[in-house]
Amino acid sequence: MSTSANEAAPAQQGAPLLEVRNLVVHHGQLRALSGISLRVFPGEVYAIIGANGAGKSTLLRTIAGLHHPTEGSIVYDGRDVTGMRAEKRATAGISMVPEGRRLFPSLTLEENLKVGATFARSGPWTVERVYDLFTWMKDRRNQKTSQMSGGEQQSVAIGRALVANPRVLLLDELSLGLAPVIVQRIYGMLPQILSSGVTVLLVEQDVSQALRVATHLQCLLEGHSTLEGRPADVTAEQVEAAYFGMGEHSAAAGSIPEGSEA
Amino acid sequence: MSWVNAIVQGILTGGLYALFACGLSLMFGVMKVVNLAHGDLATVAAYIGIGVIAISHIPFLWSVPIVVLIMAVLGYALQRSLLQAAITRGELTTLIVTFGLSIVIENGLLQFFTANNRGIGTGSSLISSSFSIGAGLQIAWLNVVIFALAVVVLLGLQYFLSSSKYGRLIRAVADDREAAQLSGADYRHVFGICAAVAFGTVALAGISYGMTTVVSPTTGTDTILLFAFAAVVIGGLGSLWGTLVGGIVLGVAQQIGAQINISYELLAGYLVFLAVLVVRPQGLTARRSQS
C-alpha cells in the first residue's frame, strides 16, 4: 500500500502553512462537516480521502472560500482567513482546481491561463512555463477548451491554478471521470509542481492513487474524521475501515497514529 | 425606386436600433440582467446631453464624451449597488428592480423636464443635410453617421471583449462566476466594469436618438426599449453582431411596412419579430457564446 514516494515526506515541524480548526459547515439544514481539523506544512502533499458525500469537496471549497463555515476557523500563513472572500484568498496564495475542472468554455486555452495569471502573485509560474510542463498545449493554445478531452481539460485547470503562483494548491478530485492511464499521467506531473515550492492539499476518491502521492492523509466519513496519519503508518485494514465506516472498534483504534486530533 | 429607398433607409435605421440593443444584450449576456430601465437610461443620457450643452455652451461633439463618461460612472455605481443587490436575490428580482427603476426615471424626468418633447441641437449643417443618389433616393447624413457609429461601437466592443484584460475577465465571469473567483477576480467589480461599458453605449444610443428625432420622458419604454428588445431577439440573444443584424431586419421591415401603408410601420416590425420568435427562437445569428 505505501510506496517509496512517501519516505521523502517532510517532517511535520515549524509552523503549518494552512491550519483548519474544528470546521463545521452546513448546507442548509444538512451538517456537511462536523468539526474537521487539519494542519498542512510547507512542502507536504496532504490527501483527504473518503467516499462520495463524505464532505471532502465541501472541506476544500470552504478552505477556498466558496462556502462559509458555521463554526471553526481557517488559518493561512499565520493569518485568520475564515471571513475572507474567495477572490482575496486566491490572490493571497490559495488556488483551487475545482471539481469538474470548471474551465471557461467560451475562452481559448491560452485565455483560460491568462485569466488565471491576471491577479497572480509573483513567482516561478508563467503561461510559458505551463506550456513547458504540458508540452502539447502550445500548439493548441487557440482552441476552445470545450473541444478538449477530459484529461486535457484537467491539465488546463491545473495550469490555470498554477499561473497564479499559489503557495497552497487545492486539488479537488483530479481523477474524476478520467481513464486510469490519464490519471497516472496527471499525477505524474505532481513532483514537478512540488519542486516549484507549492504545497498541495488534495481530495481523492481513488484511495490507492492518494496513498501513492500523499505524505499525510486524513479520511472523512459523513463529515467526521475517521483516520489521520502518514501513509506509512496506517494499514490497509485501517484505511478500509475508516473509508467504509465498518467496525467501530477498528476505526477508533486506528484513528490516532500520531496523536493528532481526529 | 421607392422600394430601394425603403430598404436603404431601413438598413440605416438598423444602425440606431443596434445602438439601442447592444448594451441590453451585453448586460443580459454577462449579468443575466434584463434591464427594463434600458430605454429610460438612454432617455436620461439624451437629457443629460441637452443639459450639458445648455449649461456649458460647449460644442455638441464635446458633450458626447462627457455624457458617455457620466453614464459609465452611473452604470458602475448602479451595478455595484442596486443591480448587484437584485442579482444576489435572484433573476426575477432584477426584473422587478429594473421595472421599478424605469418608473422612477420616467416620473423623475416628467417632474424636472415636463412632458414636452426636446431634441438635441447639433449646430452642424452637415448633420442636418442630406445627399441624393439618383432619383427618389435621399439619404440623410445623420443616418449615415449614426450607422457608422454603430459599426464602430460594435467593433470596439468586440475588440474590448476579445483582446483586453477586462474583456477577457468579463467573458470568464459570464462563463463561470465561481471559477473566476478562484482565479482572484472579484466578479462584482467585473460586473461593474461591464455595466459601465454597456451604459456608455446607452449614452450614445440616447444622444443619437435625440439627434434624429425628439425625446420625451416616456420615449424610453415607448420606443427605445421595445426596439432594443426586438433587435436583440431577432438577431439572437447574447450575440453582439446579432444586434446589428436584428436592428437592420427590424428597420427594413418597418420601412417596407410604411411603404405599403404608413400606419403599418410598427406593425410590420413586430410581425417580423413574432415570426422570428416562432420560426427561429434562437435568433438569426444563432450563436450561443457572448461575443
Please state the rounded mean pLDDT for residues A88-112: 96
pLDDT band at B148 (very low <50, low <70, confident <90, very high): very high
Looking at residue B238, its pLDDT comes to: 79
- Cβ(B102)–Cβ(B37) under 8 Å? yes
The end-to-end CA distance of chain B, in Å, is: 37
* A115 lies within 8 A of chain B by CB: yes
Residue A181, classified by CB atoms within 10 Å of its CB into exposed (0-12), middle (13-18) or buried (19+), is exposed
- Asked if B169 lies within 8 A of A118 by C-beta distance, the reply is yes
- What is the CATH classification number for the domain harbouring B41? 1.10.3470
Q: Which three cell numbers stand for residue B105?
A: 426615471
Spatial separation of the C-alpha atoms in residues B242 and B239, rounded to whole Å: 5
Please state the rounded mean pLDDT for residues B233-245: 91
Pick A111's closest partner by Cβ from B168, B179, B181: B168
What number of other Cβ atoms are within 10 A of residue A15's Cβ?
Answer: 11
Torsion of CA B251, B255, B256, B262, to 10 degrees: 140
Give the pLDDT confidence of B3-27 residue by residue, as tens digits: 899 999 999 999 999 999 999 999 9
Looking at the complex, report in whole angstroms how far the Cα of residue B16 sits from the nearest Cα belonging to chain A. Answer: 29
* A77 lies within 8 A of chain B by CB: no
- Asked if A164 lies within 8 A of B184 by C-beta distance, the reply is yes
Counting one residue from chain A and one from chain B, the pairs whose CB atoms sit within 8 A come to 77
Give the pLDDT confidence of A233-243 residue by residue, as tens digits: 998 889 989 99
Q: A65 to chain B: nearest residue by CA?
A: B182
* Chain B residues in contact with A160 (beta carbon < 8 A): 183
* A111 lies within 8 A of chain B by CB: yes
Exposure on the CB side of residue B103, measured as CA atoms within 13 A: 5
* Chain B residues in contact with A147 (beta carbon < 8 A): none
Report yes or no on B289 lying in a domain.
Answer: no
Report yes or no on B287 lying in a domain.
Answer: no
- Cβ(B291)–Cβ(B155) under 8 Å? no
The end-to-end CA distance of chain A, in Å, is: 22
Looking at residue A10, its pLDDT comes to: 52
Nearest CA-CA partner of A257 in A237, A236, A235, A241: A235
Angle at B139 (CA atoms; ends B134, B143), nearest 5 degrees: 160
pLDDT band at B122 (very low <50, low <70, confident <90, very high): confident
Nearest CA-CA partner of A242 in A221, A214, A262: A221
Does residue B23 or residue B133 have the better pLDDT? B23
What number of other Cβ atoms are within 10 A of residue B106's Cβ?
Answer: 22
Radius of gyration in angstroms for the set of CA atoms belonging to chain B, rounded to a whole number:
19
Distance of CA A109 to CAs A127, A131, A146, A158, Å?
A: 10, 11, 9, 12
In this structure, the strands spanning A79-80 and A94-97 are: unpaired
Give the pLDDT confidence of B219-236 residue by residue, as tens digits: 998 899 999 999 999 998
**pLDDT higher than threshold 80 for residue B241:** yes
- Asked if A102 lies within 8 A of B176 by C-beta distance, the reply is yes
Spatial separation of the C-alpha atoms in residues A112 and A144, rounded to whole Å: 9
* A116 lies within 8 A of chain B by CB: yes
pLDDT band at A245 (very low <50, low <70, confident <90, very high): confident
Output phi, psi for A171, to 5 deg: -115, 115
pLDDT band at A52 (very low <50, low <70, confident <90, very high): confident
- Asked if B183 lies within 8 A of A65 by C-beta distance, the reply is no
- Please report which helix (H) or strand (E) contains residue B153, including its range: helix B141-163
Looking at residue B9, its pLDDT comes to: 94
Residue reference for cell 499525477: A187
Nearest CA-CA partner of B183 in A104, A152, A47: A104
**pLDDT higher than threshold 80 for residue B28:** yes
Query: Does domain A15-100+167-253 fall into CATH 3.30.450.40?
Result: no
Domain that holds residue B151: 2-279
Report yes or no on B288 lying in a domain.
Answer: no
Report yes or no on B133 lying in a domain.
Answer: yes
**ipTM entry:** 0.87
* B183 lies within 8 A of chain A by CB: yes
* B181 lies within 8 A of chain A by CB: yes
Pick B175's closest partner by Cβ from A104, A120, A164: A104
Looking at the complex, report in whole angstroms how far the Cα of residue B288 sits from the nearest Cα belonging to chain A. Answer: 9
Q: A61 to chain B: nearest residue by CA?
A: B182
Q: What's the per-residue H, E or C state across B65-115?
A: HHHHHHHHHHHHHHHHHHHHHHHHCCHHHHHHHHHHHHHHHHHHHHHHHCC
Looking at residue A260, its pLDDT comes to: 39
Amino acid in the structure at residue B282: Q
Please state the rounded mean pLDDT for residues A107-124: 96
**pLDDT higher than threshold 70 for residue A257:** no
**pLDDT higher than threshold 80 for residue A250:** no
Q: Say which DSSP state A18 is in.
A: E
Looking at residue A4, its pLDDT comes to: 42
Residue B174: partners with Cβ closer than 8 Å, 6 or more residues away: A106, B29, B30, B290
Helix/strand/coil for A219: strand
Lowest mean pLDDT among A88-92, B71-75, B114-118: B114-118
- Asked if B169 lies within 8 A of A115 by C-beta distance, the reply is yes
Residue reference for cell 469537496: A57
Number of domains in chain B: 1
Q: Which three cell numbers stand for residue A117?
A: 495569471
Q: Which three cell numbers stand for residue B189?
A: 467589480
